[in-house]
């Protein structure tokens, strides 16, 4: 058995095969998954698993180059957005590397998600609780 925070085999496999600049999206229960993109559906019921619990587990194993969010996220769901922003900032400090955050309109975010290697669907019911991580390198 894996001795790490992230024990989901599908997500671990996706992260292991990511190359520099490949993307992985974590989304709420409502984001459409474009045809051809691997869907890893974790949603069980409203709020389970939560967006932030899923993000924390994924980021524990993922080297991040940059982050993309919908520009509507901070206004529509300030609490969830702030929790994510604080977590990303703290993670950047711990890793000694800032993670640039880019904001795009939600419609563009949905189009861009088609470039993701996989989309991890959570049970989150918070509007715009979606993030795309661009994979970095560890050297």
Residues 6+ apart with CB under 8 A from 63: 135, 136, 137, 138
The single-letter DSSP state of residue 128 is: T
| pLDDT on residue 3 | 75
1: pLDDT strictly greater than 90: no
Q: Which fold has domain 22-135?
A: RbsD-like fold (3.40.1650)
**Domain coordinates in residue numbering, the chain:** 22-135
State pLDDT tens for residues 9-35.
999 999 999 999 999 999 999 999 999
Q: Is 81 annotated as a binding residue?
A: no
**pLDDT over 70 for what percent of the chain?**
100
**129 assigned ligand-binding residue:** yes
Identify the residue with better confidence: 48 or 4: 48
Mean pLDDT, the chain, rounded, equals 96
CA-to-CA separations, 120 to 14, 15, 29, 97, in angstroms, rounded: 10, 12, 10, 24
Q: Is 128 annotated as a binding residue?
A: yes
Give catalytic residues, as residue numbers.
20
Q: Taking residues 104-133, what's their average pLDDT?
A: 98
Report the pLDDT value the prediction gives residue 54, as an integer from 0 to 100. 98
Burial class (CB in 10 A: 0-12, 13-18, 19+), 78: exposed
């Amino acid at each position: 058995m894996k001795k790490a925070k992230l024990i989901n085999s599908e997500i671990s496999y996706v992260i292991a095969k990511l190359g520099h600049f490949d993307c992985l999206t974590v989304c709420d229960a409502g984001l459409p998954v474009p045809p051809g993109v691997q869907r890893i559906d974790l949603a069980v019921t409203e709020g389970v698993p939560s967006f932030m619990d899923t993000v924390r587990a994924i980021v524990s194993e993922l080297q991040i180059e940059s982050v993309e969010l919908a520009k509507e996220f901070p206004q529509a769901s300030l609490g969830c957005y702030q929790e994510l922003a604080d977590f990303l900032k703290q993670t950047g400090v711990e890793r000694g590397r800032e993670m640039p955050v880019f904001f795009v309109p939600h419609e563009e975010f949905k189009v861009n998600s088609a470039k993701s290697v996989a989309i991890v669907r959570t049970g989150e019911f918070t509007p715009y609780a979606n993030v795309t991580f661009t994979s970095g390198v560890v050297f």
